[in-house]
Structure 1
């Protein structure tokens, strides 16, 4: 929809619960049982081998106290060295396997999320806003990828090490184990305080980042419209406001995490004091050996490193968890299954159809007032109609509905005898092609880019489409003609050439009805005049609806409809409306004076 058109705050895409995300991960781990099992076993082995030297150190102390032979010390020392070496190898293998398993899961999740987004109805994408969509398949994937490389392996390995070290303490003496376990309630309370508060906070931070992206995208995509209506300050304030919101969430997250670290440090202090006191009492009562009492605090201290690693990577892990729930939520997005009706879809190159809009009313979700009300329009087969009106009049919304994007609250849009509400999106695309100012050139050869609209088109047909829109001159000047690589990493095309490519796709698509929403708005005045001629050539013989950014476009149409506050207030030819002296005449006068 138009960036300057009044609309509701978009409803964000679905976000999964933590339980749903966990089930998704578990289900995909079961699909690679050998890799999952090897990952768990190597991690447990690495943790056990890291704890073993501490237990053997207690044996050394007891051997010295009991005056055992030097050979015992040599044997124990060799075992300690071997355990350290094997532990390092097992930890390295574990880190590699965790990364590989995580990369496999991320690849499946990313592909599934992108597939889900590409399969969404256009109306759903318009409803939620491109910022939310792009932040999920872009930012959230990047955050999760970083977490899989850094935080998640650390948290998983450290968690297993904490568990093994705790078991090792009970292996020394159950009373020493209980003393160390005395820190667990403090740890549990700290986590119970932190987790329920942190997950929603991280999700809010990700949503704020998506809102900021949406504000930036809206302003940049409609920059010419923003300038034309002098809305720069409004959009600048919007972006600034969203940026400050992201900043405030970032500060709150950092402050919150600092409080969590303090609570964890108190838990460590409690555990260490308990072990020292109980160990001293056991030693005085001759209920434990000096080796066991000496190894216990070292074993508990061995927990500090993995716990510290967990704490200092927990922030990244929480971000990854928030991104995971957002991506899994995209996979669970319900699709709008609109069944294809009995009406026959027009074949390519069919004669043009008339467009009839009757009693059309439309409102955005969660809004009180409709943006369009009782709109009646007719575009004769092969004719053209231009929509004009002030910002927020409903031009872009009406154009989208005529293109089959969204469903009216009341009324209908018919292409010939076919009601668009009876078609799915594929059926609507066969009848109507829409071209907006948001054109894009994909990375690859120019021929591949053009064949997005007609996969089976021959090279001759591609060149003919380019010739139709007046792009053949600059295309022939490219190093390899239509086989030249364009887009990212290839030949850079200016806005006029990008629009030429989009118009050539429009020619190749051959839909009998064409909707153009400010399709030449991004070009300069000279480029716009060139593109207006290209638009007329591309639309020749088709039923065409223009959302006119320039009134020169409106002049070229057979008829003009003036929208105001969602209603059609004037209709007629350019000369008729100027002579009428109404809203269009005032727009025309302002346009002439501005030009």
Structure 2
């Protein structure tokens, strides 16, 4: 059995380049050829029909000067009105089709991003932080969705209109076209100044929003710990710092955009001045008609509206582009980070799988100090061990490593004779189940929710699992029993019932080793006592590791290990450790005093 690591994963999810994101969009547009073609045709037609009235107006001017008959002028006027009406219809159709095409692309992008996140190793999610993940599948999707409704149709249709109007000016007279094109260097310089400065700022802004989300999530997840240790001010300061960073980046973006608009206005002035001067010279030299000279500045002026629309929606387009590179980057997250080896044989029975931890050392990426240092632990087959210690001692990190989430820099974790370093995450899941306080009930029938752990479980097996954890009675009282919809839009369940459902899934799971990380921490004292009995019933006969939040749960374990600053400093039974008078005895004394005051520090 072997394992290979191809590269060290970065500390944040991948963000792709704008070119790669554009290739992704182009590839998916090719998958909807008729919709893409219809979008392009209606956009070009709408732009051409908006330019046609200006050209016809020049024809009217020349007709008046030449003394043409009234009927010719009326016919030209009718064509002018018809072109304007048809142009409005084509523009509306183009806007609708651009939005529909964008919505299809967004749906595929969102589904792909969520699928990529769900397929990532748990260690990767823990490494980058849920703030980064949630900001991508949440905030970034919302930004792109807004951009598709507003900025993308505007920029696309306005860009086509600019191209058609430019061609129209060259059609009037190539010299007038060149005069209008004289503004292009000024526009190019404005864009060349703006894009390199704005794009990084937008990416920094999105990253700062992810950091702010992570700060909020970590504070809310551990709100009771924050309160118990009077850390409210520290967490408030952290959230405030990240919020100010987002705000300052927003101001920097707006300041640069304002300077960009000034440069764009100068380009408009240069182009209009050149057209008026060249047009006057051509008219004086009798080298162009009055209609052509009159239409040229009107055509150039018609560029002001689409160019202004592009400029004033460019901010939203840039945000959408930054979010697009982040979401497409998620799709490109490499699966090579996962350690792949041979899957273990199906467990024959829980009593065959002790847990052995030897010389375990683990350091988070970017951290100079190890979280765990040379940890040695043994949990006999079918036995239980409780981890206790102060916040930050490394309990949850050790539990995650024993569950196969992450890889240590030194040492090993063995389940029976199998080293977890030689397994991918699916192989680790076959041997170890982990249950944390972050339990979730999925929307749908309760039976389907339970079958997540055992898709082939019969109704009798589901009922038996619920009975084991003490949930059968309240399930029977639901309107449709096992088939009652729960979760969002269904039956509302309190934290104790949600935890019982998670424990019932644990009963249905065949894995012989169980890791429970503060799985009863969110219940009240009465509910916690009920859940602790359910935990013992669910774990009966399995090798079990508890991250004990309540020391009453630690008392129920066969042995207790005390962690301090990443090291195991004490091991033994509850009686042995209290008699020892060391760190555990002090924790136990503090627990008893806190319990008497109805204050349970975490």
| Smaller-chain TM-score bracket | over 0.9
Separation (CA, whole Å) in 1 of partners of 2:527 and 2:226: 19
List aligned pairs for 1:24-39, cutoff 5 A: 24-39=24-39
The change in CA–CA distance for 1:193 and 1:498 in structure 2 (over 3 A counts) is: same
The 3-state SS of whatever aligns with 1:385 is strand
In the aligned structure 1, how far is the partner of 2:338 from the partner of 2:243?
37
Report if the CA contact (8 A) 1:443-1:490 is conserved: yes
| Alpha-carbon distance, 1:183 to partner | 1.2
Deviations 1:161-202 (A, max 9, x none): 001001101111111111111111111111111111111111
Q: What is the CA deviation profile of residues 305-342 of structure 1, one whole-angstrom value per residue up to 9, with x for unaligned ones?
A: 11111111111111110010000100111113422327
User: How many Å separate the matches in 2 of 1:44 and 1:341?
Assistant: 57
Give the 3-state SS of the residue equivalent to 2:433 in structure 1: strand
RMSD after superposition:
1.5
1:10–1:129 CA contact under 8 A, matched in 2: no
Task: Give the corresponding residue for 1:494.
Answer: 494
How far residue 343 of structure 1 moved from its aligned partner, in angstroms, is 4.4
TM-score by length of 2: 0.95
Q: How does 1:469-484 map to 2 (within 5 A)?
A: 469-484=469-484
Give the drift of 1:227. 2.3
Map of 1:247 onto structure 2: 247
Give, in whole Å, the separation in 2 of the partners of 1:343 and 1:47: 64
Equivalent in the alignment of 1:519: 519
- In the other structure, the counterpart of 2:298 is 298
Is the 2:343–2:427 Cα contact (8 Å) retained in structure 1? Answer: no
Q: Check conservation: 1:202, 1:319, Cα contact below 8 A.
A: yes
- Structure 2 counterparts to residues 135-154 of structure 1, below 5 A: 135-154=135-154
Measured after TM superposition, the shift of residue 345 of structure 1 is: 4.0
Give the aligned partner of residue 409 of structure 2.
Answer: 409
**Cα distance in 1 for residues equivalent to 2:369 and 2:350:** 39
Deviations 1:241-276 (A, max 9, x none): 111211222222222222211211111112112211
Structure 1 68/201 Cα, relative in aligned 2: closer, same or farther at 3 Å?
Answer: same
Secondary structure, aligned partner of 1:303: helix
* Structure 2: runs of 5 or more not aligned: 1-8, 596-602
- Which one is further off, 268-277 or 427-436? 268-277
| Cα distance change, pair 559–10 in 1 and its aligned pair in 2 (3 A) | farther
Is the CA contact 2:350–2:513 (under 8 Å) kept in the aligned structure 1? Answer: no
Tell me by how many angstroms 1:225 deviates.
Answer: 2.3
Q: CA deviation at 1:473?
A: 2.2
Equivalence for 1:428? 428
Instruction: Name the residue aligned to 2:41.
Output: 41
Runs of 4+ in 1 over 6 A off after TM superposition: none
State the 1:512 CA deviation.
Answer: 0.7
Secondary structure of the structure 1 residue equivalent to 2:375: strand
Distance 2:280 2:124 in 1: 67
How far is the alpha carbon of 1:65 from its aligned partner? 0.6
In the alignment, the residues of structure 1 paired with residue 455 and residue 270 of structure 2 have an alpha-carbon distance, to the nearest angstrom, of 69
What's the CA shift for 1:548? 0.8
Deviates more, 1:324-333 or 1:105-114: 105-114
- Cα distance in 1 for partners of 2:37, 2:10 equals 43
The answer (yes or no) to whether the contact 1:224–1:521 under 8 Å persists in 2 is: no
Q: Which runs of 5+ in 1 are unaligned?
A: 1-8
- Within 5 Å, give how 1:422-571 maps onto structure 2: 422-571=422-571
Give how far 1:85 is off: 2.3
Cα 1:44–1:434 change in 2 (3 A) is: same
Identify the residue that residue 347 of structure 2 maps to in structure 1. 346
Distance 1:494 1:352, change over 3 A: farther
Please report how far the alpha carbon of residue 575 of structure 1 lies from its aligned counterpart in structure 2 after TM superposition.
Answer: 0.6
What is residue 80 of structure 1 aligned with on the other side? 80
- Aligned twin of 1:316: 316
Q: Aligned in 2, Cα 1:240/1:539: closer, same or farther, shift over 3 Å?
A: same
Q: Distance between the aligned counterparts of 1:385 and 1:586, measured in 2?
A: 19
1:121 Cα deviation after fit: 0.6
Q: Compute the displacement of 1:292 (Å).
A: 0.7
Q: Distance in 1 between matches of 2:446 and 2:80?
A: 64
Tell me, in whole angstroms, the C-alpha distance in 2 between the residues paired with 1:344 and 1:411. Answer: 23
Q: CA deviation at 1:229?
A: 2.6
Q: Deviations over 1:409-450 (max 9, x none)?
A: 111111111111111111111110001111111111211111
User: Is the Cα contact below 8 Å between 2:344 and 2:427 reproduced in 1?
Assistant: no
Q: Does 1:210 align with 2:210?
A: yes
| Structure-1 separation of matches of 2:257 and 2:443 | 42
Question: 1:229, 1:538 → 2: CA distance?
Answer: 32
CA contact (8 A) 2:180 2:271 kept: yes
Shift of 1:406: 0.6
Distance in 1, Cα, partners of 2:477 & 2:193: 66
**Where does residue 4 of structure 2 map in the other structure?**
none
**1:230 corresponds to which residue?**
230
> Would you say how many aligned residue pairs link Structure 1 and Structure 2?
586
CA apart distance, 1:92: 2.2
